[in-house]
Amino acid sequence: MSVQTADSAVVMRGIVKTFSGVRALDHVDLEVRTGEIHGLVGKNGAGKSTLVSILSGFYPPNEGEITCGGKTVSAVGPDQAKGLGIAIVPQQVHVVSGLSIAENVFCGELPLTRLGFVDWRRIRREAMEQLALINIDIDIDRTVESLSVSERQMIDIARAFSRDAHVIILDEPTASLPKDEVKMLFGFVREMCKRGVSFIYISHFLEEVFELCDRVTVLRNSRVVGHFDVSELDVRRLVQLISGQDIARFGRKRREAHERPILEIEDVTRPGAYEKVSFTVHAGEIVGLSGLEGSGKSELVRGLFGLQPMGEGAVRVDGRPYRAKAPEEALAQGVAYLPRDRYGLGIVPVRSVAENVGLCVLRKVTNRLGFISRKVERPLVEGYVDMLQIKISNLDQELQFLSGGNQQKVVFAKLAATKPQVLLLEEPTQGVDIQAKEEILRIVVSMAGDGVAVVVVSDVIDELLDICDRILVMHRGVMVAEFDPDDQGTSGADIMLAIEGNLAPR
């Protein structure tokens, strides 16, 4: 156990956090020195967000202590983070877009005159001083709406600075930034460091970590893998640390050859999202599709399903020309889609299991008079509930009362009921428990076994390696690599490198 030294800005020691019995953080340590930019990296679900959420007081840890500004506490209270000088700049920047920049810098604590009115002169003067102090040259009377994303982030950082924050957490700040704005933001962050502010920098873009950070902490499976000086690492080593070495295979028996092409995509292009993407998925084949956020992988499947415009290019489903302007049309042509956002797009939480399972196929279970036939509907729903082992007390139970894993299985049942030829899955195991994860992967494999062409969009490389016949990688809208999980030379680290945009010499 290290003792906080004079140059530590914040020290977290032995942090444990469990959610309903699942360890999200397991004795995690983190030390950020004064004036350093400290990278925090790991796969989705490794615990990065949980750790910074604890640091910024969103929730208390189960164990561990936090030392900051000379004070040691067991938990940062929701209102304490500000007092301790900790601030977070989230991915979606918390600015009030209709207000002026000056107002945003002070938002939440507008200084008042003696009469209790807002002291506008003081706000404008001090906002101008704040921005001058940190070398931002923006007219403070502009509304925030008129700013670019990076400018907004800088305003947010300025706001944190105006409240005497000396540890500022940046959560994926560059995910939606064009390159020149990234440069601007980095320059700004370095400038702030010289003034003694420390940064915790979370990013999936590893090249940025090398460019910006002094030290880096790697998290994997809720534990710390290690703390490193960036100078002692290279990209390949970092990817290995992030992904881990051992990859457990699902042990799926793959078919020798998939002959019948079901989903054929040819030169599909939507400017700004993806460019000249071509691939074919055969009957019974599972193709993994991975890439960073914004690589075009999600946009592609959503475009195919008609949730977004698909753009130019030729698509065929089982030999027939295919195009869907809405999900309705996609489903009618045998294409089903499992959304990443289960609560937003997947389920109707206030309706029953039966209604949710039947949602896509209602029209096919009606009798001659157009009424839904209970005699057809109930056995259909029960069949899927049994087959997918969905744990419910009765078919009329509302979906909101089910666990995440069972909700996800209901979505699978809904899709399976449409008897699709093509199944597009986006992050199928996100937000479900470990046991359900395995069951869901089994469902995917068994649906492929019935001759469905499956595309799995996922960040979880281990799972893709387990179940896929091929893994495709997209980077900045372009298909950049294809991997064969059966090839002995294929490793998770290679795929991670490709995802990062660094193609391994093969």
What tokens does 7 get? 């140059």
| Contacts (CB under 8 A) with other proteins, residues 136-195 | 171-172
Determine, following the binding rule CB under 8 A, whether residue 350 of this chain makes contact with other proteins: yes
Dihedral sign, CA of 91, 94, 97, 101?
A: negative
Q: Which lies closer to other proteins via its Cβ, residue 412 or residue 483?
A: 412
Q: Which lies closer to other proteins via its Cβ, residue 235 or residue 372?
A: 372
What is the Rg, in whole angstroms, of the alpha carbon atoms belonging to the chain?
25
Of these, 267, 332, 446, 486, which contacts other proteins (CB under 8 A)? 332
**139-163 CB burial, b ≥16 within 10 A, e <16:** ebeeebeebebbbbbbbbbbbbbbe
Q: Which lies closer to other proteins via its Cβ, residue 131 or residue 385?
A: 385
Q: Which residues share a beta bridge with 227?
A: 217
Q: CA angle at residue 13 from 161 to 91, to 5 degrees?
A: 40
Residue 247 beta carbon to other proteins: minimum distance, rounded to whole angstroms: 21
What tokens does 183 get? 């440069």
Choose the binding region for other proteins from 26-34, 114-122, 392-400, 445-453 (rule: CB under 8 A): 392-400
In the chain, the largest separation of any two C-alpha atoms, in whole Å, equals 81
Determine, following the binding rule CB under 8 A, whether residue 345 of this chain makes contact with other proteins: yes
Of these, 191, 234, 328, 487, which contacts other proteins (CB under 8 A)? 328
Choose the binding region for other proteins from 61-69, 233-241, 261-269, 398-406 (rule: CB under 8 A): 398-406
3-state secondary structure of 363: helix
Residue 269 beta carbon to other proteins: minimum distance, rounded to whole angstroms: 24
Instruction: Give the residue from 360, 367, 422, 354 showing the smallest Cα distance to 394.
Output: 354
Determine, following the binding rule CB under 8 A, whether residue 387 of this chain makes contact with other proteins: no
Q: Which lies closer to other proteins via its Cβ, residue 73 or residue 372?
A: 372
* Rounded distance between C-alpha atoms, residue 345 and residue 457, angstroms: 16
Q: Which lies closer to other proteins via its Cβ, residue 33 or residue 323?
A: 323
Identify whether the C-beta of residue 56 lies closer than 8 Å to the C-beta of residue 88: yes
* Rounded distance between C-alpha atoms, residue 265 and residue 276, angstroms: 9
Give backbone dihedrals phi and psi of 456, rounded to 5 degrees, phi first.
-110, 115
Determine, following the binding rule CB under 8 A, whether residue 21 of this chain makes contact with other proteins: yes
| Contacts (CB under 8 A) with other proteins, residues 450-489 | none
Determine, following the binding rule CB under 8 A, whether residue 50 of this chain makes contact with other proteins: yes
Determine, following the binding rule CB under 8 A, whether residue 110 of this chain makes contact with other proteins: no
Of these, 431, 442, 445, 478, which contacts other proteins (CB under 8 A)? 431
Identify whether the C-beta of residue 345 lies closer than 8 Å to the C-beta of residue 399: no
Question: What is the per-residue DSSP string for 207-225?
Answer: HHHHHH-SEEEEEETTEEE
Of these, 297, 409, 414, 475, which contacts other proteins (CB under 8 A)? 414
Beta strand pairing call for 198-202 and 37-41: parallel
Identify whether the C-beta of residue 105 lies closer than 8 Å to the C-beta of residue 130: yes
The neighbour count for residue 446, using CB atoms within 10 Å, is 13
Residue 214 beta carbon to other proteins: minimum distance, rounded to whole angstroms: 22
Determine, following the binding rule CB under 8 A, whether residue 49 of this chain makes contact with other proteins: yes
Q: Which lies closer to other proteins via its Cβ, residue 225 or residue 345?
A: 345
C-alpha separations of 407 from 87, 205, 347 in Å: 35, 32, 7
Of these, 382, 450, 484, 487, which contacts other proteins (CB under 8 A)? 382
3-state secondary structure of 427: coil
Of these, 337, 384, 412, 483, which contacts other proteins (CB under 8 A)? 337
State the binding string over 264-303 for other proteins (x if CB under 8 A, else -).
----------------------------------------
The neighbour count for residue 2, using CB atoms within 10 Å, is 9
Determine, following the binding rule CB under 8 A, whether residue 307 of this chain makes contact with other proteins: yes
Give backbone dihedrals phi and psi of 368, rounded to 5 degrees, phi first.
-60, -25
Residue 386 beta carbon to other proteins: minimum distance, rounded to whole angstroms: 9
Of these, 92, 231, 435, 488, which contacts other proteins (CB under 8 A)? 435
Determine, following the binding rule CB under 8 A, whether residue 53 of this chain makes contact with other proteins: yes
Residue 362 beta carbon to other proteins: minimum distance, rounded to whole angstroms: 4
Determine, following the binding rule CB under 8 A, whether residue 394 of this chain makes contact with other proteins: yes
C-alpha separations of 97 from 94, 102, 104, 137, 491 in Å: 9, 12, 9, 19, 45
Of these, 8, 80, 430, 502, which contacts other proteins (CB under 8 A)? 430
Q: Which positions touch other proteins (CB under 8 A)?
A: 19-22, 24, 44-45, 48-50, 53, 91, 171-172, 202, 305, 307, 326-328, 330-332, 337, 339, 344-351, 355, 358-360, 362-363, 366, 370-372, 382, 385, 391-398, 401-405, 414, 430-436
